[in-house]
Amino acid sequence: MCVSLIGTWMKNIAQPWLAYSLTSSAFLLSLVSALQFTPMLLFSLFAGAWTDKLPKKSILLFTQSASLIITLSFAILNSTGIIQYWHILVLAALMGIVNTLDMPARQSFVIELVGKIDLMNAIALNSSVFNLARIIGPALAGLVMGIWGLTVCFYANAISFGAVIISLLLMNPEHAQARHSHSVSDDVLQASIPSMRRHDTNWMEAFSGKLEMDSNMSAKRPSFSKPS
């Protein structure tokens, strides 16, 4: 997973650099990022409920294979010199859709691998790997882009997805969770309503605390009235 994350960060540096080099426009550069992350913003809640009903390993094999194809398309289009701006928009949007499914499945797959007993250690290790890749990936991307060019970053990312696919094929989750029989809409409502209630409770607690603080300040405020 660390190799894949490093490759992903390398691609995340090379992709906007490629978009800006083709357009020289800050707006068009930001549009690429908007298209890539909009699917996660809109559909991640539904994707999480949907992935709970399917085997996580199968979903990850699909998402990692799709990511490999998308990244390899970046590399081939750029290496042949036929890449255009609209190619980047389409591939970025497709990557955003794939990531919408990949992220909740990957987080749930951790539980199936280690179980609840070692879950906290697994989460800590996963966070450490992510932050380490966030440091190494961009630095390595800068070196690779300066020496060999953008295309090598895309090929490196494609190879990293291949390594993850091989690892997934060799894995056998020992703590696979039972799949729910509820509909996706029911799962979304069950996840949303408690969150909304907690949100309302937090607002009420904050408002009550504000009123109490104002009353205390009023009681302690010194009087500046003239003596009779």
Q: Where residue 122 sits, what CATH number does that domain have?
A: 1.20.1250.20
59 C-beta neighbours (distance < 10 Å), count? 20
Domain carrying residue 75 = 2-170
Residues 61 and 10 in one domain: yes
Cβ atoms 159, 27 nearer than 8 A: no
Residues 152 and 76 in one domain: yes
The answer to the question of residue 6 being in a domain is yes
Residues 25 and 118 in one domain: yes
pLDDT at 213: 43
Q: What mean pLDDT do residues 198-218 have?
A: 47
pTM above 0.85, yes or no: no
Residues 164 and 206 in one domain: no
The answer to the question of residue 142 being in a domain is yes
How many helices (H) and strands (E) the chain has is answered by 7, 0
The answer to the question of residue 217 being in a domain is no
Structure confidence by residue, pLDDT tens digits, 27-60? 999 999 999 999 999 998 888 888 888 888 999 9
pLDDT at 151: 95
The answer to the question of residue 122 being in a domain is yes
Distance CA 23, CA 106 (A): 34
Per-residue confidence at 164, pLDDT binned at 50, 70, 90?
very high
Q: What mean pLDDT do residues 182-196 have?
A: 50
pLDDT at 206: 47
The answer to the question of residue 187 being in a domain is yes
pLDDT at 224: 40
The answer to the question of residue 27 being in a domain is yes
Residues 187 and 156 in one domain: no
Distance CA 76, CA 92 (A): 15
88 C-beta neighbours (distance < 10 Å), count? 25
